[in-house]
């Protein structure tokens, strides 16, 4: 469909998904240019590859030779570059629309759900690489072992990709396999409620055609209403198609036994992981189930996952700062935050857990307020930075991180929780707070990771 496309201009090229597409297009011989409000390591990497990136947005930055514009859904129709493209009659697609189109030339495996998409995608992609399937893999993170970081360009027939549920963006794909990690309330600026989210996932599952297969989480209550025509389930301590039992944790590792239902209960063998948390066991089991249904031997899965050390901003261990283990994490949904804090307790038993958290988006913070308050209290000490204002989302600023701090203090007067108006203020508080042998987790889906990288130096 895009054989005649010669020059693509990308608005918001510095995003993790957009930059992956830029690399793919560049590898295909397409001229790629782009713009972004912020310079970053991602944009610098694109420039090193020969892709022109400009700062800010202006109408004259859309090149004369451009024949396709790709932008994120966050780019408003009033954006000057988007307006210029409309005036010149240049075709405009969102990155998800473009991905949906190019995925039609592959056997597409879509990993979707509220939590765990990036890690599961990376795990499954790495397994298929080791199995010799030579897949193309696009991940919403950076994956160790992938030379291009957030994308792995292969020559095989499989395309493994995250299906973002925000604004039902996964509906742009026509998958042959769906890996559904879980369904929870999130993105309530778009969805009415949990039922609306489940209805949308049902519509997506219904897109599976012919021998299309769903792989789903048998432990997840949010997934239970979904009807599958053809599916296998995975779970922990529950009798189903793929199951893990007897989980053991130690500092820096966890182990489980893996079983498959094959006319009876068959033990496939032990699985050892370097990544923490029960949630990562479930991510790994989802990847194993999907891979084995594609014909990959368990031993290949086991060996690959034993060597898997995680991905960018998913419990990413950055080193030591002021004697404390420093971790960067993308968590922003209450269940994801809880899983990360529990994982830290397992991997670092007996040590103080200090959480520096940046809430993501005002609307999400308001609608998940009570759950956030209860979850954040699980940390021993808290520094909460002001809410990250998501570009392109018009929302009321009628809530602040101060409200979270006040409510936590109200419910737990003894809890050490402090408000930081920005990253500099958060750093100053942390310098006074952190002691040797602490575990410092810097968490959020916005740009709080910049602070984590600063402390890493």
Binding residues for ATP, as ranges, are 113-119
For residue 448, what are its two tokens? 């709080």
**Buried/exposed 241-261: b ≥16 CB within 10 Å, e otherwise:** bbbbeeeebeeeebbbebbbe
Rounded CA-CA distance 298/300 in Å is 5
Q: ∠ at Cα 404 (398, 407), nearest 5°?
A: 115
The CA angle 143-146-147, to the nearest 5 degrees, is 125
Residue 158 and residue 101: Cα distance in Å, rounded? Answer: 15
Q: Is 378 exposed, middle or buried (0-12, 13-18, 19+ CB in 10 A)?
A: middle
User: Annotated binding residues, as ranges?
Assistant: 113-119
Structure-token pair, residue 329: 């994490």
Q: Which of these, 64, 82, 85, 86, lies nearest to 74 by C-alpha position?
A: 82
Query: Strand, coil or helix: what is 415?
Result: coil
- Range 9-21 burial, b when 16+ CB lie within 10 A, else e: bbbbbbbbbbbbb
Neighbouring CB atoms inside 10 A of 280's CB total 25
Q: Take residue 138 and report the two structure tokens written for it.
A: 């696009």
CA nearest 362: which of 391, 339, 327? 391
């Amino acid at each position: 469909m895009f054989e005649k496309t010669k020059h693509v201009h990308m608005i918001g090229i510095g995003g993790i998904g957009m930059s992956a597409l830029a690399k793919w297009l560049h590898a295909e011989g397409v001229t790629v240019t782009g713009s972004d409000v912020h310079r970053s390591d991602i944009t610098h990497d694109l420039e090193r590859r020969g892709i022109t990136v400009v700062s800010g947005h202006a109408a004259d930055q859309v090149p004369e030779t451009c024949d396709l514009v790709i932008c994120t859904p966050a780019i408003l129709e009033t954006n000057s570059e988007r307006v210029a493209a409309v005036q010149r009659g240049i075709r405009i697609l969102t990155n998800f629309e473009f991905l949906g189109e190019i995925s039609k030339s592959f056997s597409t495996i879509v990993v979707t759900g509220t939590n765990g998409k990036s890690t599961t995608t990376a795990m499954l992609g790495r397994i298929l690489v080791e199995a010799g399937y030579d897949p193309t893999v696009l991940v919403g993170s950076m994956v160790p072992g992938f030379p291009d970081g957030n994308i792995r360009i292969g020559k095989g027939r499989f395309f493994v990709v995250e299906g973002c549920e925000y604004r039902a963006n996964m509906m742009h794909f026509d998958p042959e396999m769906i890996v559904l990690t879980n369904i929870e309330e999130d993105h309530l600026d778009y969805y009415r409620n949990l039922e609306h989210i489940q209805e949308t996932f049902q519509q997506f599952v219904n897109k599976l055609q012919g021998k299309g297969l769903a792989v789903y989480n048998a432990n997840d209550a949010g997934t239970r209403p979904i009807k599958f025509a053809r599916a296998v389930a995975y779970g922990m301590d529950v009798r189903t198609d793929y199951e893990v039992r007897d989980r053991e944790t130690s500092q820096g590792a966890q182990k489980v036994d893996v079983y498959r239902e094959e006319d009876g209960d068959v033990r496939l063998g032990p699985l050892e992981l370097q990544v923490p948390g029960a949630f990562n066991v479930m991510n790994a089991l989802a990847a194993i189930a999907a891979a084995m249904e594609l014909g990959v031997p368990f031993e290949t899965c086991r060996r690959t996952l034993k060597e898997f050390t995680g991905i960018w901003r998913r419990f990413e261990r950055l080193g030591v700062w002021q004697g404390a283990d420093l971790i960067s994490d993308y968590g922003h949904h209450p269940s994801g935050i809880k899983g990360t804090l529990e994982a830290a307790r397992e991997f670092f038993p007996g040590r103080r857990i200090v959480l520096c958290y940046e809430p993501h988006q005002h609307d999400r913070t308001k609608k998940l307020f009570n759950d956030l308050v209860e979850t954040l209290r699980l940390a021993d000490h808290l520094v909460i930075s002001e809410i990250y204002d998501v570009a392109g989302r018009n929302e009321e600023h009628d809530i602040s991180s101060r409200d979270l701090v006040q409510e936590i203090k109200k419910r737990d007067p003894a809890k050490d929780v402090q408000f930081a108006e920005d990253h500099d203020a958060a750093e100053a508080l942390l310098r006074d707070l952190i002691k040797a042998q602490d575990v410092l987790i810097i968490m959020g889906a916005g740009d709080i990771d910049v602070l984590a990288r600063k402390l890493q130096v």
